[in-house]
A = this chain, B = another copy of it.
Amino acid sequence: MTEGAGPRAGGMREVARAAGVSVSTVANVLSRPGIVAPGTRQRVEQAIQHVGYVPSGPARQLRGLPSPLVGSVTLDLANPFFAELNRGIEDRLAEAGCLVLAGSTDLRPDREQQLLDLLRQQAVRGIVVAPIRPDLTILLKLRQAGTPVVLVEHPRGDTDLCSVAVDDVLGGRLAAEHLIALGHRRIAYLGGVVESGTVTRRREGARQAMIAAGLDPDAALIDLRMPIHPPPLIDAAMLAVQRLLTADPPPTAVLCLNDTAAIGVLQGLAAAGVRVPRDISVVGYDDLRFAALLAPPLTTVSQPAYRLGWTAADLLLAEKEPDHAHREIMFQPTLVVRSSTAPPSVVSRAPRPGSA
Contact = CB atoms under 8 A, between A and B. Distances in A.
Interface stretch (A57-65, A161-169, A174-182, A239-247): A57-65
How many chain A residues sit at the interface, stated as a range, is 35 or more
A303 to B, nearest CB: 15
Contacts of A296: 295
Interface string A339-355: 00000000000000000
B306 A293 contact: no
A123 B87 contact: no
A20 interface: no
Interface in A84-108: 84, 86-87, 90, 94, 97, 99-104
A280 to B, nearest CB: 16
A146 B7 CA distance: 5
Contacts of A77: 83, 86-87, 90, 102
A352 to B, nearest CB: 35
A13 to B, nearest CB: 14
Contacts of A297: 295
A5 interface: yes
Interface string A287-302: 0111011111100000
Interface stretch (A150-158, A191-199, A260-268, A311-319): A260-268
Contact of A122 (B57, B119, B145, B267): B57
Contact of A97 (B76, B118, B119): B118
A123 B58 contact: yes
A58 B62 contact: yes
Interface stretch (A48-56, A128-136, A212-220, A223-231): A48-56
A18 interface: no
A250 interface: no
A4 B102 CA distance: 27
A8 interface: yes
Nearest to A117: B54
A85 B154 CA distance: 27
A116 to B, nearest CB: 11
Contact of A290 (B56, B141, B294, B306): B294
B68 A78 contact: no
Contacts of A119: 99
A31 interface: no
Contacts of A59: 58, 62
A306 B78 CA distance: 9
A335 interface: no
A9 interface: yes
A5 B234 CA distance: 42
A253 B90 CA distance: 37
A307 interface: no
A119 to B, nearest CB: 8
Contacts of A6: 145
29 contacts: A5-B141, A6-B145, A7-B144, A7-B146, A9-B146, A54-B120, A57-B121, A58-B58, A58-B123, A62-B62, A68-B122, A77-B87, A77-B102, A78-B80, A78-B87, A80-B83, A90-B103, A90-B104, A99-B119, A234-B289, A260-B289, A263-B293, A266-B293, A267-B293, A293-B294, A293-B295, A294-B294, A295-B295, A295-B296
Given A86-B102, A295-B296, 8 more contacts: A5-B145, A54-B145, A77-B87, A77-B102, A80-B83, A97-B118, A100-B102, A234-B289
